């Protein structure tokens, strides 16, 4: 099944919005952004209207430039006509650029909750929205029961938060070493070639035995767990 998403944004937020679009696409969502996905020689407002109509979700980026962004307001008006009124649908979601005042949101969106976005949390925001709106796309990992790891086992990143989203992606492998007194997992990560601490809820056991053995054979010996 295909899931479509339309992102409305002021021009000054173009870079971060294009990054957000790419993250949604990694999760299997067809996210449409005008700056990248517009069709040449096609009437822009005709295409925007078609893309909004075909979308399962409209994401409305709120920044300090939104009040003056007439195109954004026109897109919101089209969305309310095509998808339904804000009061009875969850298909229009605001995302607030960090630093933007809540008063910058259009009146119809002032009382709707939405995540805050900055350059360092694009992956985790895309993941949170995917889990909330399109949960079936991530259902496979959630079907496996969570099990407590044993030192020396391999884990897989299954959730991203703001602390790890800049350095890791879903599916990255981690070698579990120990637990801190506060319950954090110390792991070796081949991706960064070093050890770090991660929250238990961000990982699950890896069952890719052959791949894990290959990764372990390339690990520096000082990071391996030795059961003496």
Report H helices in the chain: 14-26, 34-37, 44-53, 70-82, 122-133, 139-143, 209-217
The distance of Cα 144 from the centroid of its chain, to the nearest Å, equals: 21
Give the Cβ contact number of residue 222 at 10 Å.
7
Is 144-223 a domain of CATH 2.60.40.10? Answer: no
Give, for all 228 residues of the chain, the pLDDT tens digit: 688 999 999 999 999 999 999 999 988 999 999 999 999 888 999 999 999 999 999 999 999 999 999 999 999 999 988 776 544 457 899 999 998 888 899 998 988 889 999 999 999 999 999 989 998 887 655 566 778 999 999 999 999 998 899 899 999 999 999 999 999 999 999 999 999 999 999 999 998 889 999 999 999 999 998 764
Regarding the domain delimited by 3-138, which CATH topology (the fold level of the hierarchy) does it fall under?
A: Rossmann fold (3.40.50)
Q: Which residues, other chains included, contact 122 with Cβ-Cβ below 8 Å and sequence gap of 6+?
A: 16, 19, 20, 23, 165
Compute CA 185 distance to the chain's CA centroid, rounded to the nearest angstrom: 23
Query: Would you list the domain boundaries of the chain?
Result: 3-138, 144-223
Closest CA to 79 of 70, 89, 68, 69: 89
């Amino acid at each position: 099944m295909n899931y479509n998403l339309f992102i409305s944004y002021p021009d000054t937020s173009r870079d971060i919005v294009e990054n957000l679009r790419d993250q949604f696409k990694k999760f299997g969502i067809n996210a449409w952004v005008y700056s990248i996905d517009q069709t040449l020689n096609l009437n822009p407002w005709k295409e925007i209207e078609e893309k909004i109509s075909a979308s399962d979700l409209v994401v409305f980026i709120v920044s300090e430039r939104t009040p003056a962004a007439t195109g954004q307001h026109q897109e919101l008006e089209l969305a309310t006509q095509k998808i339904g009124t804000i009061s009875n649908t969850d298909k229009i979601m605001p995302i607030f650029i960090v630093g933007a005042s809540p008063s910058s949101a259009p009146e119809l969106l002032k009382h709707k909750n939405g995540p805050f976005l900055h350059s360092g949390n694009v992956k985790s925001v895309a993941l949170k929205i995917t889990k909330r709106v399109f949960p079936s796309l991530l259902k496979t990992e959630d079907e496996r029961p969570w099990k407590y790891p044993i030192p020396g086992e391999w884990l897989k990143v299954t959730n991203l938060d703001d602390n790890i989203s800049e350095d890791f992606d879903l599916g990255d492998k981690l070698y579990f070493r120990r637990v801190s007194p506060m319950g954090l997992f110390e792991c070796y990560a081949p991706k960064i070639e070093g050890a770090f601490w991660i929250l238990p809820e961000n990982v699950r056991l890896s069952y890719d035995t052959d791949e894990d053995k290959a990764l372990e054979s390339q690990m520096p010996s000082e990071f391996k767990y030795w059961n003496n």
